[in-house]
Structure 1
Amino acid sequence: MTDRTSLKLNDERKHLFEQASQIVAGDPTDNPPRSDVIDAALTHLIESHQNIENARKKYPPQTIKDCANTSVLGLRYRTSIESKWR
């Protein structure tokens, strides 16, 4: 990973930021800075990965797949979790 100081925001990324900002916001009038939205998204991704790993010890693979499969974290049936993002 490289260190970058700016983000190029195409229409899709702007829309994703708007959606994520609504989730992070304390109320409808709150407008959190993008850095807070990014921090929240990264924390959620890391915690979700750990939660899925922990749940794999307790539940069958199909249950985990049905509950946790997203476009960012995918569960390969009976094998591993892999990132589909990028």
Structure 2
Amino acid sequence: MGSTKRTTIRLSDERQRLIDQAKGIVADGPDDDPPTSDVIDAALTHLIQSQKNLEDARDELDPATIQQFNTDVVALRYRTRIESRWR
């Protein structure tokens, strides 16, 4: 049986605020309180899908249109590559 890696994440006030905000997006309704692991899974999936969507769209749309969908994390620059601005 495989082992599960466990990590404790220290939550600064800002990180907790972001997680709480993301929980509201992931929740099934106003009374749902999804676990943080579900929120992290959703955020990672969204990041990967967003990058793929930008890569796929750049062959069909002009750079100015695609740049409207840039985020602080994933952005298309000069129609040549997608880069992460996160780190």
Q: How high is the TM-score relative to the length of structure 2?
A: 0.89
In 1, distance between residues paired with 2:47 and 2:25?
14
Segments of 5+ residues of structure 2 without an aligned counterpart are none
Deviation per residue, 1:27-84 (Å, 9 max, x gap): 0110000000000000011011111100001011111001x11111122122211111
Specify the alignment match of 1:25 in structure 2.
Answer: 27
Highest RCO, 1 vs 2 (Cα 8 Å, sep ≥ 6):
2
Residue 85 (structure 1) aligned with residue 48 (structure 2): no
| Partner-residue secondary structure (3-state), 2:86 | coil
Q: Which has the larger radius of gyration?
A: 2
Aligned length: 83
What is the RMSD of the two structures over their aligned residues, measured on CA atoms? 1.3
Q: Where does 1:1-86 land on structure 2 (aligned, <5 Å)?
A: 5-66=7-68, 68-86=69-87
How many percent of aligned residue pairs carry the same amino acid?
59
Aligned-pair CA distance for 1:4 = 6.2
Q: Does structure 2 retain, via aligned residues, the 8 Å contact 1:65–1:77?
A: no
Segments of 5+ residues of structure 1 without an aligned counterpart are none
Q: Does structure 2 retain, via aligned residues, the 8 Å contact 1:62–1:77?
A: no
